[in-house]
Amino acid sequence: GLTLDEPARTVMNRSPTVATQTSTRESIIATMRQKRLHHIPVVDDNRHIVALETLDELIQTDIKPNAVVLMAGGLGSRLSPLTDDCPKPMLPIGNQPLLQTIIESFVEYGFRRFFLSVNYMADLVEEYFRDGSEWGIEIEYLRENERLGTAGALSLIRERQHEPLIVMNGDVLTKVNFKRLLDFHVNQRAMATMCVREYDFQVPYGVVRLQDQHILGIDEKPVQRFFVNAGIYVIQPEVLNLITPGQYTDMTTLFEAMIELKQETVVFPIREYWLDIGQIADYDRAKGEFKQVFK
């Protein structure tokens, strides 16, 4: 046998089974069952451990007290003529409305309380989902008589909230781990968390770096990286007090108000599948990828 003085490399596993930050819950569970594991470390792009998934936590769904607010009242003008007689969140993807897929994704992580903000063709949304009992959830509708914006619609929540709320646009298709998102927000002790997505933009020309009239260098078709708003947020209940009832307010405006007040706002980078269905090309892509991503 080996003594405690032996170097760790003599006993360590040089090819451990790991999950990445883009791994889905289903794929991690499948790997655990295939290899009879109870724990799998989650690593980032640099192979650094960032989390530990356990089988017990993955298969046990705790009911969350947190409410989910889904924005389903947009006009969807860029998806016309598809949205001429159907609200965007009700467009079929994979034989069911987009909004149903979103709701079922949250249900999978234990969320049972939902607010649906509705305006354009609200009756079609309400007739389909009703009170939510078919999905084992509770649905309350926030009816916008006039367009209030993503944050403005939150002023229609009458019942006092005691837990952080997840707010999400109703036109986003994603495999985000909502439990991990909520845990991150709580651990950061933030007033608000914004999910962001890395977006690469390649300049199609050679970019010339100058100082006065002198050329310092030329970067051929450089790639610039940005973080863009992914349309998913977690906010503390107190944030609702910053919203003026009846006033049109976007979520970006609300974040700017919190920043001005020196309140803690943080970002949660999304590395899982994410698609904002804003145009017909996005809708066609979602239909083509749905079976593979949401199998």
Same domain, 49 and 71: no
245 belongs to a structural domain: yes
Total count of domains within the chain = 2
Same domain, 149 and 85: yes
Nearest-angstrom CA–CA distance, 237 and 69? 12
Same domain, 52 and 68: no
Poorest-pLDDT segment among 32-46, 99-113, 257-271: 32-46
Q: Give buried/exposed letters for 61-95 (b at 16+ CB in 10 A, else e).
A: eeebebbbbbbbbbebeebeeebeebbbbbbebbe
Structural domain ending residue among the three candidates 18, 37, 58? 58
Same domain, 41 and 86: no
218 belongs to a structural domain: no
Average pLDDT score over the chain: 91
**Average pLDDT of the residues in 51-58:** 78
- 213 or 4: which leads in pLDDT: 213
Check whether the bond before 81 is cis (ω within 30° of 0): yes
What confidence tier does 289 reach under pLDDT thresholds 50, 70, 90?
very high
216 belongs to a structural domain: no
- Whether the pLDDT of residue 140 is over 70: the answer is yes
Same domain, 25 and 113: no
- Whether the pLDDT of residue 12 is over 80: the answer is no
- Whether the pLDDT of residue 31 is over 90: the answer is no
Q: Supply the pLDDT for residue 38.
A: 83
What confidence tier does 1 reach under pLDDT thresholds 50, 70, 90?
low
What confidence tier does 33 reach under pLDDT thresholds 50, 70, 90?
confident
Residue 195's Cβ-count burial label (10 Å; 0-12, 13-18, 19+) is buried
- In percent, the amount of the chain with pLDDT more than 90 equals 68
Contacts of 49 (CB under 8 A, 6+ apart): 41, 42, 43
- pLDDT tens by residue, 117-132: 999 999 999 999 999 9
- pLDDT tens by residue, 179-216: 999 999 999 999 999 999 998 889 899 999 999 989 99
Q: Supply the pLDDT for residue 51.
A: 80
Residue with tokens 């969350």: 64
214 belongs to a structural domain: no
C-alpha distance from residue 111 to each of 66, 80, 145 (Å): 7, 32, 27
Listed ranges 28-37, 57-66, 246-255; the one with the highest mean pLDDT: 246-255
Same domain, 183 and 288: yes
220 belongs to a structural domain: no
Q: Supply the pLDDT for residue 60.
A: 66
- In percent, the amount of the chain with pLDDT more than 70 equals 98
Catalytic residues: 221
Query: pTM score, two decimals?
Result: 0.81
- pLDDT tens by residue, 246-276: 999 999 999 999 999 999 999 999 989 999 9
Same domain, 190 and 261: yes
206 belongs to a structural domain: no
Q: Supply the pLDDT for residue 85.
A: 92
Contact of 287 with 93, CB cutoff 8 Å: yes
Handedness of CA 205, 211, 213, 218 (dihedral sign): negative
208 belongs to a structural domain: no
- Whether the pLDDT of residue 21 is over 90: the answer is no
**12 CA to centre of own chain:** 36
CATH assignment at residue 35: 3.10.580.10
- 172 or 58: which leads in pLDDT: 172
Beta strand 138-143 with 111-118 is parallel
CATH assignment at residue 283: 3.90.550.10
Residue 186, domain extent: 62-195+226-293
